[in-house]
Amino acid sequence: MSKVAGIAVLLAGGLLAATLCFGAPASPSQIPSIFKPESTPADSIFRLSLLVLSITGLIFAVVFSLLVYSVVKYRRRGADDGREPPQVYGSNQVELAWTVIPVLIVLVLFLATARVIHSIQDARKPSGAIEVIAIGHQFWWEFRYPALGVVTANELHVPVSDPADSSPTFITLLSADTDHSFWVPRLAGKTDLIANRVNHTWIDPHETGLYLGQCAQYCGIQHAKMLLRVYVDSREQFDQWVEAERKPAVAGGTAEEGRRIFETTACVNCHAVSGTVANGRFGPDLTHLMSRDTIASGAAPNTPDNLRTWIQDPDSIKPGSLMPAMQLSEKDLDALTAYLETLR
Amino acid sequence: MSSETIALTTIGEAERPIGERLHDWVVTVDHKKLGILYIVYALVFLVVGGIEATILRIQLIVPHNHFVSPEVFNRMMTMHGTTMIFFVAMPILFGFGTYLIPLMIGARDMAFPRLNAFSFWMTAFGGLLLYFSFVGGNGLYGAGNAPDVGWWAYAPLTSRAFSVGHSTDFWTLALLVSGVGSIGTAVNFIATILCMRCPGMTLGKMPLLAWLNFVMGGMVILAVSPLTAAQIMLCIDRYLGGHFFDTQAGGSAVLWMHFFWIFGHPEVYVLIIPAFAFLSEIVPVFSRKPIFGYPVMVAATVCIGFVSLSVWAHHMFTVGMNSYANSFFTITTMAVGVPTGIKIFNWLGTMWGGKIQFRTPMLFCVGFLFQFLIAGLTGIMLGASPFNWQLSGSYFVVAHFHYVIVGGILFALFGAFYYWFPKMSGRMYNEVLGKWHFWLFLIGFHMTFDFMHIPGILGMPRRIYTYEPGRGWEIWNLIVTIGVVFQAAGVIVFVFNLLWSLFKGEPAGNDPWDAWTLEWSTTSPPPEYDFATLPVVKSRRPLWDLKHPEDPDWKYE
């Protein structure tokens, strides 16, 4: 009896906590909940999950009631005569019933699931689709738009997709090193990025806004800070963004000294700035660094102070990241930060 | 059959020097001593793995915590997983099997006593080798470098390009060595069960525990062999210029995943089937009824054994298999739920109409039933591959398999401890402390693992050493970590109860539970030769026949 009470208290506590917490902290749009889908793949999964949850919920209710009933009803009472209960060895009819019913349930679940698998995985690519190549690196994301001539990192921009005139984004997933997984819960389920293998996923977000995700396959020391931001722009905003990203880097202007430092130190071995001698591919493309909200794959906001700290001591933001500490003088650091700030 | 036993005490046991007695334990080939060695060894590692889990949970109690560095966190999560699966769950279940199988089938020892000792020591040295990496492993960050590649050790993270030094080699070799031990034990179980049964015990009259361990043995051979082979391939990759898994030279990362999970999924059943075996012995005795549907239970187990060999790629739904492969592994995964469900119903059928005594072993079994039901249902959710694309690799999965392993296997194991402790030690445990253990652990378990599902649904991936605030994950991680305190308290009560009862417990007698299988017909603890005269049985419950000559089982079976 006390077990039943205990479980009831736990369940009630859980519900209470759930009500308190879903409403309370964090602006709701920042919670990457799989139950708030904003794109067709995530939405089909959400609908399937409702079916699966209701069937499993029903099974739980039935079996749990049977368990509670037998625990309460058939426990040994205080006034027991000490005799053994009737010895029952089994019943073929009952066994048959509780074999056939689960088989039928499994069939229903399988058919519903197979339909969703097919609708997501075998979806046709419409002509208006945006194509993106996402390449996972230890521990950041490279995004290339081959048709649009855009290369960027960590912050994926895609146009909103009007259900009437669909413009989904089809993403080819590659890895430069270890396994990674592309997961933006409100847009689609995860798909891994695996070296020496080509994977695909697609999204068609219905609402503009920022969608958060992160790497979901353990990829090494900084797996935790391989964050992912997807900006869903209106069509006009997206076109403007593409226009800006296609331009080569703004010439150094007031920050010539910083540019000289950038181009004469190890920076250029890993980073590219289009239109300059910097053409490294090992680290993120910095051509339009200042158009991004974050640095270090979402580990810190993109502010001048953070940029400076990142160059001087990356481990203070992201210990174990492959960006080396650059060992520059204070003066050179200031100049270099000033140069990076011109990369709009 | 004979219930007579000769009360025999080893002459002058207490007077012999401690060194000599320890030497006996090291060179023993007695299945009971080896069983206890397995269990004690695994209990030590249970505490070690528990401490590692506690470190993980303290680090995750608040976002951006600095309790440990990412390097240490990654080592802890790798070591926690590897330890708990390979050096706690498997040895402890092998230990119970080694101890109980000969006693329950009326044999005097295992079929191959020396192989039995060899297997134990291989497993033991595997564990020591793994932990030696903490002092001797030379890695990327210097000496004292435990493996940090995750317990799946996915390629190409294990290649020399990404895993410099020797920490990964310790992991590989430890699993290779203990894998040989596991296969030896499995061969021994199968041979013992097939060849050593006492007169009258046909396969259809074997206790379910023996049946289930028989199936488990077959699965170990089929599942551990590919893993062992894969470890050898990984060694070849790392040191002899092989390219099986080396993606930079045309190797396949997915191949490793297949090798790992063709081991990894049957492994789940390798672990849960012995837990089923405990339930199938404990639930009838405390319900005072025979197991409901014995033949169906056997059939369901064999069915699980076969079907579970075809579900491995449900761990790989996110690696980009095509829609047909995903559909295939969806249906096999859901299908394995059917025989598993049948088992739950049969245990309920056993309790139905009985007179249930809620002693500590039975409490743990009821806990098992409740938690395993939920674990099975979340397993169905994860089996629906599109739902899996969201849940896989998240804290939902972590909660799900801890529900299976802690809520299921560990609860059944605790039940088995209390149930067979009187037989192994000759003394009763303390019932009050046993109930304290149960309730503390139950509360801790539910605080930790119920609430752990939620951050997964809210998008929190597993294996991250820290997380960003403002994503709605903080409160859940806090509750999850607080639950650890209750679990730890429960385990402390358990260890104290074991130690205290070992020296101060009431004498248990041969048959404290009024049970029905052969191990209760001999003394507690049993003599070295188990039975003075080999028993002869006529039914599945030989001691029932003996106690109820007017209404024996063999008339109805």
Three-state secondary structure readout of A222-255: CHHHCEEEEEEECHHHHHHHHHHHHCCCCCCHHH
| Displacement of CA B168 from its chain's centroid (Å) | 24
* B445 contacts in chain A (CB < 8 Å): none
- Helices assigned H by DSSP within B336-473: 337-351, 360-383, 385-391, 395-402, 411-425, 431-457
Q: Which residues of B touch A31 (CB under 8 A)?
A: 458-459, 471-472
> Which one of B327, B388, B471 has the shortest CB-CB distance to A32?
B471
Q: Which of residues 269-288 of A touch B (CB under 8 A)?
A: none
Helix and strand numbers (H, E) in chain A are 8, 12
Residue B255: phi and psi, rounded to 5, are -60, -45
Interface of B with A in 142-161 (CB under 8 A): 148, 150, 154, 156-157, 161
In this prediction, residue B3 has a pLDDT band, given cuts at 50, 70 and 90, of very low
Search chain A and give the residue with CA nearest B320: A199
Residue B305 tokens, joined: 């054994």
Q: Between B253-287 and B208-239, two packed helices, what is the crossing angle to 10 degrees?
A: 160
Structure tokens at A122: 């075998």
A126 DSSP assignment: -
For residue A299, report the phi and psi dihedrals to the nearest 5 degrees: -75, -25
Residue ranges of chain A whose pLDDT lies below 50: 1, 19-25
Q: How far is B326 from A113, CA to CA, in rounded Å?
A: 10
Mean confidence (pLDDT) of chain B:
93
Delimit the domains of chain B by residue range.
Answer: 28-555
Rounded to two decimals, the ipTM of the complex is 0.91
Smallest Cα distance from B345 to chain A, Å: 7
Residue B184 to chain A, least CA–CA distance (Å): 33
Closest A-chain CA to B452: A14
Cβ contact, residue pair B356, A75, below 8 Å: yes
B463 touches chain A (CB under 8 A): yes
At B323, the amino acid letter reads: S
Quote the pLDDT of residue A162: 87
Architecture (CATH level 2) of domain B28-555: Up-down Bundle (1.20)
**What are the structural domains of chain A?**
29-67+92-245 (2.60.40.420), 253-341 (2.60.40.420)
Q: If you measure CA to CA, which chain A residue comes closest to B159?
A: A178
Contact call for residues A179 and A195 (beta carbons, < 8 A): yes
pLDDT band at B297 (very low <50, low <70, confident <90, very high): very high
Chain center to CA of B420 = 16
Name the residue facing A190 among B318, B378, B470 (closest C-beta).
Answer: B318
Partners of residue B154 in chain A, C-beta under 8 Å: 178-179, 217-218
Task: Tell me if residue B510 falls in helix, strand or coil.
Answer: coil
Check B373 against A25: CB less than 8 A apart. Answer: no
pLDDT at res. B2: 43
**What does each C-alpha distance from B366 to A64, A67, B356, B369 come to in angstroms?**
11, 8, 11, 5
Helix, strand, coil shares of chain A as percentages rounded to 5?
45, 20, 40
B392 touches chain A (CB under 8 A): yes
What does the pLDDT look like over B86-131, one tens digit per residue? 999 999 999 999 999 999 999 999 999 999 999 999 999 999 999 9
Residue contact A76–B355, C-beta within 8 A: yes
State which H helix or E strand residue B218 sits in. helix B208-239
Portion 88-117 of A in contact with B at CB < 8 A:
88-91, 94-95, 98-99, 102-103, 106, 109-110, 113-114, 116-117
Nearby residues of B35 by Cβ (< 8 Å), 6 or more positions away: B95, B96, B97, B98, B99, B100
DSSP conformational letter for B430: P
> How many percent of chain B have pLDDT more than 70?
96
What is the SS3 string spanning B1-35?
A: CCCCCCCCCCCCHHHCCHHHHHHHHHHCCCHHHHH
* pTM value > 0.80: yes
Q: If pLDDT is split at 50, 70 and 90, which confidence band does B135 have?
A: confident
> In the numeric block, which tokens belong to residue B287?
């319900």
Which two tokens mark A278?
């910097």
Report the alpha-carbon distance of residue B268 to residue B308 in Å, rounded: 9
Tell me if B95 sits within 8 A of B42, measured CB to CB: yes
Cβ neighbours of B293 in A, within 8 Å: 89-91, 94-95
CB B159 within 8 A of CB B246: yes
The DSSP-derived string for B50-107 is: HHHHHHHHHHTSSTT--SS-HHHHHHHHHHHHHIIIIIIIHHHHHHHHHHHHHHHTT-
**Contact state of B318 with A31 under an 8 Å Cβ cutoff:** no
Share in percent of chain B as helix, strand, coil (round to 5): 70, 0, 30
For residue B152, give the nearest of B47, B245, B39, B272 by alpha carbon: B245
The chain A residue lying nearest B70, using CA atoms, is: A221
Alpha-carbon distance of B253 to A192, in angstroms, equals 11
**Backbone CA torsion sign across B399, B402, B406, B409:** positive
Residue length of chain B:
557
From B89, B72, B77, B172, select the one nearest B126 (Cα to Cα).
B172
Q: What is the pLDDT of residue A163?
A: 81
The residue among B313, B255, B231, B461 whose CA lies nearest residue A197 is B255
d(CA B467, CA A46): 25
